Structure 1
Amino acid sequence: MERRLLPPLTTICGFESAARKLSHRAAAEELNLTHPAISHQIKNLEEHLGVKLFNRDGRNVVLSEEGKIFYPYVLEALEQLALGVAEVRRNNEHTSLRIQTYVTLSIRWLARLLPIFHAENPSINVQLATYASKWEFDEESADVGIIYCDTLPSDKYHWVPLFESRVYPVCSPELLDSEKGKVTPSDLVKLPLLSVEAEFDYWKKWFASADVDAGIITPHMVVDTKAVALEMAINNEGVALVNGPFVADDLASGRLVKPCHHETVFSGSWGIICRKENKEREDIKSLVSWLLTITADM
């Protein structure tokens, strides 16, 4: 390695952020620096390389041809450095298997399963991080994610499907009794519909799958998580859509019922995700194998 070719390393993060966001100001906010500090970093980097990395396009900045060439190398270098940090941390005997998932999946499914997994795998310490609205895998904060994907992740990830995206409505038995028993999909249009922010079009898609022209759907209530929507449904506040293993216990106990028989399957699926180079880690392999066994009959 010819060290004289290396640019000032303090300039690399500023360039990467500015190139990704196409904004020096946004890069400054992300890195908790001042706007002039980012501009100074980029100027130093350009002087070292002897090229312009950005061009002005009105009030915005765009990457120059040289910037477009340089950016993938910077991104790969930072990713490799992050992987090195992760590997060093894993070497620590106290490092836990960091799992990322969503609030609803955690509360209504995974939280009661993880103690069983740990009992069967006592050498694996688990650290669970839950997100209300962050749907993509956060590889810097987690080793493995249990998430929902509309489409397959990119090739740099290892993806193991767990269960399909089967969608159906649920409500309290009291609400169904007020409608004198089972209702048709078209009848649901007149009932209070509960929706989740991240699933703004799910009711429209579900009605379309039932050949119901529901027109413009205005939900009775829009909440931030499926867990909240399901609690409201249990409390007789409306009808919620289920997309995941969230209500098996409630249906078995009668706290929730299916107001009609219609179900549909959306294009996405639930699954386990990690970086490809981590898929042979023993703790990740153990978790994947165990979850596949748990979900085999779902």
Structure 2
Amino acid sequence: MATQRYKHIPPLRAIKAFEASARLLSFTQAADELNVTQAAISHQIKKLESLTGVQLFERINRSLKLTFEGRMYLIAIRQALENIESATRQLTNRDASGTLNISVLPSFATKWLSKRIWRFQQQYKELDVRIASFEWLADFKKDNCDVAIRYTNDASYPGLTSELLLNEDVFPVCSKAFYDAFKGQLQPEDLLKAKLCHDDFTTESWNDWFKAAGLNPQEPLRGTRFSHMVTMLEAVENHQGFGLGRTPLVQDDINRGLLVAPFDIKIPGKMAYYLVYPSNTEKDQKVQIIRQWLMAEVDTFKKTGLNSVN
């Protein structure tokens, strides 16, 4: 006769009642969350304590407190539930079919991702891709988001895994026609009196770059201000002045001849692009696929580098 496996596993209802009660430290709130009565929660906890022979909660002055054994059990139970949820999600998406939802800043979506995503779609024809472009941080549950590409100087998010995609350098760019007007005689100090385009979103300023170039502007730097990087770069491409470009957003346009980087003087960006996803989905097939593809694209991008103006 075969031996029954997992015979010490309690009913799932009891496990869920315990996890919610332990997390909220309230039978009433646990009942509301699980849409059952408080009596049902209390019954499930008593059943669990009876099955294990261990007291999991202490009732002190109408408040609830976990015992030491209860705290240890909660840690183990929470991990087990996350594993079950992850395994079920993988099973549901076992052929990686469906829709891959990516949240990303509009500037990165326009200048980097949209120029490459066709290669992903050629390789993974069974997956539809939805790119949600907005300025705020995605809520992975509410926004139905699988992965996000976030631009930040602090990629520490509770419950999320963050992996560096791209650092950036910041440097002046202009159109080819604008550059040619200087007939090869352009010097950094010429920009002190040139038309400058400013991006309000940036953390680095023209003053930062001039300082790196050994210059100290004596007068306030004027010029047209833009609230979005992409709009500013459009103005620069249309010969309206010099703008501060960022490697991930301008390298393609420089290599295509739409923009020129007239100087080798660059300052390191204070922020970077990170791939972010819920830690409990890191083994999901869709997450693994887009992660591997993005890392390969980033590697190619870095190896390509910037074309020299000379």
What TM-score comes out, normalization by structure 1 length? Answer: 0.65
Unmatched segments (≥5 aa) in structure 2: 1-16, 34-60, 64-80, 303-310
Contact 1:149 1:269 (C-alpha < 8 Å) held by counterparts = yes
Q: Which structure would you say has the larger Rg?
A: 2
User: CA 1:154–1:216 in 2, change beyond 3 Å: closer, same or farther?
Assistant: farther
- Residue 176 in 1 paired to residue 171 in 2? no
Partner of 1:277: 280
1:137 Cα offset (Å): 4.4
Local SS of the residue matching 2:215: coil
Tell me how far apart the structure 2 counterparts of residues 215 and 253 of structure 1 sit (CA, whole Å). 36
SS of 2:183's equivalent?
coil
How far is 1:129 from its partner? 0.5
Q: Tell me what 1:233 maps to.
A: 236
Other structure's SS at 2:280 match: helix
Separation in 2 of the partners of 1:253 and 1:244?
A: 14
- Aligned-pair distance for 1:216? 6.0
Give yes or no for contact 1:100–1:138 (8 Å, CA) kept in 2.
no
Once the two structures are aligned, what percentage of the paired residues are identical? 21
Name the stretch that deviates more: 229-238 or 188-197: 188-197
Deviation at 1:259, TM superposition (A): 2.4
In the alignment, the residues of structure 1 paired with residue 102 and residue 239 of structure 2 have an alpha-carbon distance, to the nearest angstrom, of 33
Q: Which residue is equivalent to 2:199? A: 196
Aligned to 1:267: 270
How far apart, CA to CA, are the structure 1 residues paired with 2:231 and 2:204?
Answer: 18
Whole-Å separation in 1 of the counterparts to 2:257 and 2:138? 34
What TM-score do you get using the length of structure 2 for normalisation? 0.63
Relative to 1, partners in 2 of residues 1:174 and 1:160: Cα closer, same or farther, differing over 3 Å?
Answer: same
Q: Give the secondary-structure state (helix, strand or coil) at the position aligned to 1:236.
A: coil
State how far apart, in whole Å, the 1-side matches of 2:146 and 2:173 are. Answer: 34
CA contact (8 A) 1:182 1:259 kept: no
Change (3 A) 1:284 1:240: same
From 247, 262, 268, the equivalent of 2:250 is 247
SS of structure 1 residue aligned to 2:277: strand
1:162 shift after superposition:
1.6
Find the aligned partners of 1:202 and 1:9 in 2 and give their Cα distance. 51
1:94 positional shift: 7.3
Q: Report how many residues are paired.
A: 227
Query: Are positions 1:6 and 2:28 aligned together?
Result: yes
Tell me what 1:42 maps to.
none
What residue in structure 1 maps to residue 150 of structure 2?
Answer: 147
Q: How do 1:66-145 and structure 2 match up within 5 A? A: 91=92, 95-131=98-134, 133-134=135-136, 136-140=137-141, 141=143, 142-145=145-148
- Amino acid aligned to 2:27: L
CA shift in 2, pair 1:278/1:204, >3 Å: farther
Residues 25-67 of structure 1: CA deviation (Å, up to 9, x unaligned): xxxxxxxxxxxxxxxxxxxxxxxx999xxxxxxxxxxxxxxxx
Query: SS of the counterpart of 2:156?
Result: coil
Residues 97 and 126, structure 2, Cα contact 8 Å, conserved in 1:
no
Please give the alpha-carbon distance, in whole angstroms, between the structure 1 residues aligned to 2:172 and 2:273.
18
Helix, strand or coil at the partner of 2:271: strand
